[in-house]
Amino acid sequence: MEYLIGIQGPDYVLVAADTVAASSIVQMKHDHDKMFKMSEKILLLCVGEAGDTVQFAEYIQKNVQLYKMRNGYELSPTAAANFTRRNLADYLRSRTPYHVNLLLAGYDDHEGPALYYMDYLAALAKAPFAAHGYGAFLTLSILDRYYKPGITREEAVELLKKCLEEESVPICDHPGCFSPWLYQLGWPDLRVAFETEEYCASTALPEAPACSAAVTCEVRA
């Protein structure tokens, strides 16, 4: 069972992914990272065939970094999403297609936060919330019911908890562990942890840096 979820707010994007690597009915590990840092302001979440996810995500990651070295500035989330979509579409029409489903989250100083949904057929859409995996069948209705424009970070965290609770009930091989990240302007002042039925929130983080750059925060249970 694989599950990705993303929620966009007015000045942040909250995303989470399960951390289980499985093959058929066998769970091989519970600390598998399905998030790939494209740049300081862009994060790519990837699920699908085991080999395809790592190879395609790292290919996009290295090309985004190469673009920065060549041009002296980073791609915006919109540009990175379209670059990723074009490459996925090109490989789809080759002999070596990648079977991957993606969420791309990021923050741009001019455009603000952005969340993009992309499936293995290279269909791309910008969305206020998105989900991939079997859990998406169970939680998209919750996101549609409780999401609202201008949702605060606290409300987004509660919405994320609702989705994870609902997703954990009917799934027999529910992993019980997720890796949540927060992308926003400035230093994140919120930590989120999820493990089976226990939640915890903390605000004990270092002081905010002088610059107002998007920073990621990773917390594992």
Confidence (pLDDT) at 2: 82
pLDDT at 204: 33
Determine the pLDDT at residue 12: 87
Q: What is the pLDDT of residue 31?
A: 79
Query: What pLDDT score does 33 carry?
Result: 85
Mean pLDDT of the chain: 79
Whole-Å CA distances, 76 to 38, 40, 108, 109, 168: 11, 11, 6, 9, 34
Region for 53 from its dihedrals, namely left if φ exceeds 0, alpha if ψ lies in -120 to 50, beta otherwise? alpha
pLDDT value, residue 165? 82
Residues in the chain where the model's pLDDT stays below 50? 172-173, 176, 185-221
Predicted structure pTM score: 0.79
Residue 84's identity, in one-letter code, is T
